Structures are given as C-alpha cells and as structure tokens.
Amino acid sequence: MKLNSDTLSSHLEQHLLPAYLISGDEPLLVAEATDAVRAKARASGFTERETHFMERGGDWNDVRASANNLSLFAERRIVEIRMPSAKPGNAGSAAIVALLESRDPDRVLLITAPKLDRDAQGSEWVRAVETHGALVQIWPVDASRLVAWLRVRAKRLRLNPDDEALQILAERTEGNLLAANQELEKLRLLVKGDQVTADDVFASVADSARFDVFQLGECALAGDTARALRMIEGLRAEGVEPTLVLWSLSKSVRDIWGAAHSSGGRAPAWRRQTAALEKGQRRASQLHFGRMAARAARADRMIKGRETGDAWDEMQLLAMDICARPTLALPRK
C-alpha cells in the first residue's frame, strides 16, 4: 500500500498495518507522520517501544535478534528503525524483509528514511514493505501550496490570519516548514484573539532576530543604500550564512528585472514589497543587470572558495549596484 501525509490520518482512523515506512526530507511532516503511527499503535495496545539507530556500521543482526526476542511477559511493541540513508545495503535489506515476513502479531515495524530515489523504490525491501504494510511518502510543500498549508495550520491553532499575513509568513519561511509552524505557534501566544494581521507577523519576526535577509531584500529594492549596507554588516556579525544573503540580493535583482520587462509588472506578494519594488522599477533604466549578475556570480564563487576575495565585500558592492550607487568596476579577467 502507498500513502502520503494527507491520506495517512484517514487511513489510521480505520487501520493499523504491521509495518510502515515513512520516507521524506521534510523533518516536520516526517515527525508528525511517525507520531501519528505511534499514537495509533499505542491506542491499539502496542505499549512498548524499541528504537534502533542504523548509523554507518550498524549491526542488522542485532536488530533482527532484538526484534524477534520473545518473552513470556513481553508487551506488544513498536520496533522503530531509523535509517540515515534510503539504501540499507544487502544486510539491511535482508533483515527488513525477514522481519516483515515473520509476521509477528505483537510487533509493529516503523521505519523512517530519507526520500527514496527511483532505484530505492524498486528495491526488494521497499516492495516488501508495500506488500506487508504501507509506504508513506512525504513530499515537500512547494511555494504554490504554502499559503494554503499555512491557512490549514493556523485554523488548527484557532488563528484567523488575513491574506497579507499569510503571504508574508510564506515569503519568510518558504522551504522550512518547521520554522513556519514555529512562527504560527509564536503568533498564537502573541496575538489577542484569533485575528492575525501583517503587522502581527512583522512584530513576531522582529522579536526573534534583529536583522533578516528578507528585510535586506526589501531595502535593496527600495534603494535604501545606507540601511542595506548596515544590514549586511549586521547579518555578517550574527553569523548568517552568506549564501542566504546572496540569495536575497539576487532575488531583488530578479524582481526588478521581472517588473521592468513584463507587461504591467509582476505583482509582489505583499504591500510593503509593492512600494519597494515600485521604487526599484523606477530606477531600472539606471541599472546594469549584466554587471549585477556577474558580481553575484563572483560572490558565489568566493563563498565556495573558487575565487579569492571577501564575499561579504562583494555583496555590499552588489547591494550598491541594486541601489544604483556608483561602485568599483568588476576586475578584468
């Protein structure tokens, strides 16, 4: 059987299979899926829990022996196998298949693994899980579905965020559902009542960090050179990864280009960005997009150690380019 994070809950309301393989790279959704299986198993009388962390060099024979160890007074149990790789090797594959084929009615096998590639999905041990239990594939929530996902989460917390608040939260947490969920939990504690506005989201984020890469992008769009440079220095002092800073600045370049070269401009996600992007669009004719792309690429090579120089200095020059301020010319090859 194959399931996903959306169908797992309804499945568990009616069934508990002997085995579940939960596979995916989104920590929050994987954790919630495993919690759901554990809760169903406990409610069904599987009160004991045994966990095996199969790091490199782990002994699968120990797993088989322990999982098959029977006692006269043993409780029904959940046997968890946590795998750092979706490829357990020959010994691991054989051990999992043997456990599944033994069909112990007093054991629920719960396996967690990273996302399965095509080869792994066709492997013997995964096919055995599908035969005797369920493969639960956890897919990331892409940008187009993130707002809807946040709305559902907010409703569970009895929050009613407006559209702008959801758009801002989506912009600030895209690619990190754990952070998105934590922000919603924080808003539940901060707001009075159930209404959540854009200002509530800004205030919540401001409480957790003095500087952030999203505000940097907004400053660059608006052409606020002094503040953008201060923010880059602040982000550097706080130990923010330079790749995130470069992403924010590069996104500002793409936003201005898109607004200047598409019919009617490109609608941004929230009103504050609208004002900043309008300022960026007005100075688009002064900007050297080729030079900015080359400078961003140069900063990226510096971050990766493929070119000498200070990536932070290069990103400050990129911010000045975005703000249409005179900067040093790129070095000649």
Based on the domain organization, do 204 and 220 belong to the same domain? no
For residue range 32-83, list pLDDT tens digits in order.
999 999 999 999 999 888 898 887 767 888 888 887 776 545 678 999 999 9
pTM of the predicted model over 0.75: no
φ, ψ of residue 263 in degrees (nearest 5): -65, 120
CATH number at residue 22: 3.40.50.300
Return d(Cα 40, Cα 75) in angstroms, integer. 16
Between CA 144 and CA 92 the distance in angstroms is 38
Residue 211 has a pLDDT of 59
More confident residue, 111 or 274: 111
In this structure, the answer to whether residues 202 and 189 fall within a common structural domain is yes
Q: Tell me how far the alpha carbon of residue 180 is from its chain's centroid.
A: 9
Contacts of 209 (CB under 8 A, 6+ apart): 238
Rounded mean pLDDT, 155-177: 85
Statement to judge: residues 178 and 264 lie in one domain: no
By three-state DSSP, how is residue 142 classified? coil
Determine the structural domain holding residue 182 and report its residue range: 143-208
**Mean pLDDT within 176-188:** 88
Instruction: Summarize the confidence of residues 234-242 as an average pLDDT.
Output: 86
Query: What tens digit of pLDDT does each residue of 89-114 get?
Result: 888 999 999 999 988 888 999 999 99
Give the residue with greater pLDDT, 34 vs 278.
34
* CATH code: domain of residue 256: 1.20.272
Number of domains comprising the chain: 3
**For residue 207, is pLDDT > 60?**
no
